[in-house]
Structure 1
């Protein structure tokens, strides 16, 4: 059995993006159905188109500098994902890339810092806070889960001598983050939207899961699967 990686290289990031493109294509109709009652009925189509464009350019992008790779991905998403999601996802990747500038590989603390920088970029650009029915509602708990995983001990037996280790593995931490993102996305159902197209509906936006938070979950579960492969 292959040992899951403890760091992510540029090749791992590329593999994640390819997996995410596949997942978003599979979830395209689901995301669009979520968007139909509260948005423009195009989130799934837009996200699938954007990540398909990213996959088509991966062979031309430098992988030795993860920061540059992520910034280039953000630029592609800005130009290919329509609606409000393009600027937000573009900012997520570009700001994460800025934090990873010059890095050939990311360990768990570095990856956490990158995702936190991307989250802060999204919050600045969208002026959104948790509880406002946006992608932030999935990203905040995911980043919090990554931070917590770095200090949470694993059970005895995680090391050959049977002692607990000091922090979770990359794959385990990302699995926790993906689960937190899923819970965060599902928790948007009763919320009243305060930002974006859905906010025009007021109280009628309650009862629907936010599509942006859901696509964040898809991305993070793809990343967790890549790290655990």
Structure 2
């Protein structure tokens, strides 16, 4: 198993472990975000175990396909789109450096925006992912290592999830309760935070 597949395995298990938390956070929606994420990552792990060509492009495409084929709800198709769009801007030799992470995240975010007809400030995963993306832009990444950028991204993600508590939901089932969603963290934002945090934790060892 390559280091990328090891990282995905670590992240997947961390998200699956937080299934109940994510379902509880989704009480303002369908209460199934954690269940859906666990289903998607379990399918992704199984597919990756059988993958022979484990290039970055193929790994990301395999995860996206697993999510697309195994998850319903709102966040599943959005995550599927994110991984597939990221895969689409890879070539067979793409490795993880600051420039490539910026490119992959940028493509993923644009895919989420178009698929979800959403943007920052609407209590979605974008309120976490866009601040994370900015940590890899030339303005913020200057003189930093990739590891330092990911460390900064964890802090940005935490600020993003805190921000989602202060605004009403305008997308998905949670939008039905409007202002009553204030005070609740966005579950999609939380799963994004977990993924960024666990990538950082994986790279520490």
Q: TM-score, normalised by structure 2?
A: 0.93
Structure 2 equivalent of residue 122 of structure 1: 112
Structure 2 equivalent of residue 216 of structure 1: 192
- Between stretches 90-99 and 20-29, larger displacement belongs to 20-29
- 1:73-98: CA deviation from partner (whole Å, max 9, x where unpaired): 10101111221111100001000111
**How far off its partner does 1:149 sit?**
4.0
* Partner of residue 207 from structure 1, selected from 183, 196, 204: 183
Structure 1 ranges of 4+ moved more than 3 A: none
- 1:85-117: CA deviation from partner (whole Å, max 9, x where unpaired): 111000010001111132242211111210111
Backbone CA RMSD of aligned residues: 1.5
Structure 1 equivalent of residue 19 of structure 2: 28
Helix, strand or coil: the match of 2:185? coil
- Between stretches 76-85 and 130-139, larger displacement belongs to 76-85
Helix, strand or coil: the match of 2:35? helix
* Partner of residue 11 from structure 1, selected from 2, 6, 29: 2
Structure 2 equivalent of residue 131 of structure 1: 121
Structure 1 equivalent of residue 40 of structure 2: 50
Is contact 2:61–2:84 with CA below 8 Å preserved after alignment? yes
**How far off its partner does 1:227 sit?**
2.8
Q: TM-score, normalised by structure 1?
A: 0.84
Q: Where do 5+ consecutive residues of structure 1 fail to align?
A: 1-9, 152-166
Name the count of aligned residue pairs: 204
Structure 1 equivalent of residue 168 of structure 2: 192
Q: Where do 5+ consecutive residues of structure 2 fail to align?
A: none
